[in-house]
Amino acid sequence: MSEPVDWEKKWQEGNTQWDHGESSPALKTLIKEHSDLLPAKGRGLVPGCGSGYDVLLLATPERHMTGLDMSATCVDKLNKDIPKGSNYDFICDDFYTFKYPEGGYDLIYDYTFLCAMPPSMRPQWAARMAEIIKPGGVLVALMFPLEEKEGGPPFGLSVDVYNELLCPNFDNIYLVDAKGHESRIGREKMSVWRRK
């Protein structure tokens, strides 16, 4: 069994080797070629937002995005380094207990968030997603790493795991092999799930 990860310590030490310096090319492609799958307006969330690239990419004048991270060092850095914007913000909180906006979110983007937590927490992740995404809203999940592997994070995942977790409350409306960061090609799929 893996030891719990101290994400705050990783940020304090600058140990963020998962950071590729930009959003995944797979997310950029989804926005460019399939923007019709994403709500054009409303509220969005990126849990485990890290350096905030995805928050900024998904924010539009009509879609307010919130980046959430449990590391105070991470969020302090974001609030210091990124100019204030009217269509995005960053908060330090626990995904499972934070107070979400009344009515829920229209869009949530998960990339490297589910795989960062122990498999025993997966049912909680799915229940929380169903709780905070409004009916008709979408979960965009860039599935990674799609492989059987011991330990983590990242903990190995599969399309079957996502189906098992999400199908009770979501319909899968999009699933393709992802053309993401080069080191992850062949181990990712882009998916979009609509809340029932």
Return the CATH number at 29: 3.40.50.150
The helix or strand, by DSSP H or E, that contains position 31, with its residue range, turns out to be helix 25-33
Q: Is residue 17 part of a domain?
A: no
pLDDT averaged per 10 residues, the chain (length 196): 64 72 91 97 97 96 97 92 94 97 98 94 98 99 92 94 98 93 81 99
Report DSSP state, residue 147.
S
Alpha helix segments (H runs only) across 34-69: 53-58
In a domain, 191, yes or no: yes
CB atoms within 10 A of CB 162: 24
Please name the amino acid found at residue 131.
Answer: E
Residue 47 and residue 111: Cα distance in Å, rounded?
9
Distance from the Cα of residue 79 to its chain's centroid = 19
Q: What does the pLDDT read at residue 139?
A: 99
The candidate with the shortest Cα–Cα distance to 182, out of 17, 20, 47, is 20
H/E element, 130: helix 122-132
The answer to whether 75 and 92 are in contact (CB under 8 A) is yes
For residue 162, the enclosing domain spans 22-195
Residue 98 covered by a domain = yes
Flag whether 4 is in a domain: no
- Whether residue 90 is contained in a domain is answered as yes
Going 37 to 64 to 141 to 166, the CA torsion angle's sign is negative
The predicted structure's pLDDT at residue 158 = 97
Q: What residues pair up with 107 in beta bridges, in sequence order?
A: 44, 138
Tell me the three state secondary structure of residue 21.
coil
Residue 15 belongs to a domain = no
pLDDT at 2: 47
Number of folded domains in the chain? 1
Contact 96, 124 (CB under 8 A): yes
Q: Is residue 11 part of a domain?
A: no
Provide the pLDDT for residue 31: 98
Domain-embedded: residue 161: yes
- What integer pLDDT is reported at residue 1 of this predicted model? 41
Predicted local distance difference test score (pLDDT) of residue 3: 52
Looking up tokens 């999400």 gives 166
CB distance 176 to 14 below 8 Å: no
